Amino acid sequence: MPWLVLRIVAQAAATFLASTLIFDVVHVLLHAGDRAEGRLGRGLARLHDAHHDFLGSDLQVRDERWRANVVFQHLPEAGSVVVGTLALARLVHPVALVLATTAQVAMLVRRLASRGRDWHHRPLTRVLRPWSGWFVGRDYHALHHLHPGHFQGSALTLVDRVRGTSLPLGGRTAVVTGADTSLGAALTSRLEAGGAHVLRLDLPRDLALVGAGAADEALARADLLVLAHPVAALADQDLAVALVERHRALRRAALVVPEVWAVLPPDAGSGWRRVLRGLFHERTLTVRLLLALPGDAPARAARRLVAQAGRGARVLVSGERAAGLAEIVRLALRRDVETAGAWVHRRSLSAFVDPARPVPCRASA
């Protein structure tokens, strides 16, 4: 009997999630209608715009538009997921089917009662790093309202992982250190090809110079900071941390938390690994680790790394895949131990990351 209950609950959850993928496909098609040549596609896309008018790109709710939002968004969404659930009727237990359908109807009733202000559709003043890589939360869905062509999953991020729509680059500004290195140059070219405006930073070689120069304008504008400069020396690692914290301080008032890509070469020391592991798990930053392993030419490595980021990965691997998987396992297993070490290391740099003290770098487009 307990196994039957567990099976029914598991089937109900799987049915519910699978049915949401039906709407995700519809959702993708609705946004594709903006670029369609036919009247039908453009007309349906305009109806869906009612949802984005309700929760605008400023992430504020316009309550006067809740009825149009319910009619053109929530009712079609509920209908598509119920149809998807019923399509699975022969594959699951009848009780599981009833549970999944009941949950979907209950969600619709809750949305109607709240006039569209469910958990994913409330005003936000700050979008943190999404808490999950596979499930859609409020921050993930908020990113969709900022970038309508991306982050289109409703309950699962699967549709974005398959389509590679988890990394909007068009109209964003990226700052790249080490742009004169082979991988840095390739990443710069790849980001520019994706539509990003890239600024290259020339770094000082001495951490003691932090606070004596200015690249604040570049860092304040940057949505993305790419650390591609060599970090073999401890001074280079400390400078990288100072840049990250400076970037975070300058972007404190931004709507979305800043994003940082850090290249982790095979010969990186344990101190640098500890720092990156600590930053990786913070929600006030979106940190991606780039494992640059032997086996790929720079251009191919950059193409693979950016493509993986587009599929939602936060540990990006180029080169030998077996070595990359081994490194990912090591990063996961040592998470708790290394986070404490990273915190101590970052605290020791607090004198260098005061928002009133700029980092001495020269920026060039």
Asked, for residue 354, whether it belongs to a domain, the answer is: yes
Contact in structure between 345 and 241 (CB atoms under 8 Å)? yes
Mean pLDDT value across the chain: 82
CATH number (domain holding residue 307):
3.40.50
- According to the 3-state scheme, what is the secondary structure of 295-356? CCCHHHHHHHHHHHHHCCCCEEEECCHHHHHHHHHHHHHCHHHHHHHHHHHHHCCHHHCCCC
Are 223 and 345 in a shared domain? yes
The answer for residues whose C-beta is within 8 angstroms of residue 160's C-beta and 6 or more apart is: 150, 151, 152, 153, 166, 311, 312
Distances (CA, A) of 268 to 169, 271, 283, 349: 28, 8, 24, 19
Query: What domain count does the chain have?
Result: 2
Asked, for residue 26, whether it belongs to a domain, the answer is: yes
Asked, for residue 167, whether it belongs to a domain, the answer is: no
Are 107 and 45 in a shared domain? yes
Q: Does pLDDT of 233 surpass 50? A: yes
Label residue 35 exposed, middle or buried (CB < 10 Å: 0-12, 13-18, 19+). exposed
The pLDDT tens digits of the residues spanning 94-141 come to 999 999 999 999 999 999 999 999 989 999 999 999 987 889 999 999
User: Of 89, 104, 126, which residue sits at a domain end?
Assistant: 126
Phi, psi of 363, deg, nearest 5? -105, 140
Are 186 and 120 in a shared domain? no
Q: Which of 21-25, 85-89, 190-194, 210-214 has the lowest mean pLDDT?
A: 210-214
Asked, for residue 16, whether it belongs to a domain, the answer is: yes
The pLDDT tens digits of the residues spanning 141-198 come to 999 999 999 999 999 999 999 999 999 999 999 999 889 899 999 999 999 999 999 9
The pLDDT tens digits of the residues spanning 42-55 come to 787 888 899 999 99
Q: Give the pLDDT of residue 220.
A: 87
Amino acid sitting at position 234: L
Q: How many CB atoms lie within 10 A of CB 86?
A: 13
Most confident of 1-10, 21-30, 190-199, 346-355: 190-199
Are 112 and 11 in a shared domain? yes
Are 119 and 221 in a shared domain? no
Are 98 and 191 in a shared domain? no
Q: Give the pLDDT of residue 138.
A: 95
Q: Give the pLDDT of residue 65.
A: 94
Asked, for residue 153, whether it belongs to a domain, the answer is: no
Are 119 and 46 in a shared domain? yes
Q: Give the pLDDT of residue 258.
A: 95
Q: Which domain holds residue 110?
A: 2-126
Are 9 and 108 in a shared domain? yes
Are 203 and 108 in a shared domain? no
262 falls in which pLDDT band (50, 70, 90)?
very high
User: Of 67, 99, 126, which residue sits at a domain end?
Assistant: 126
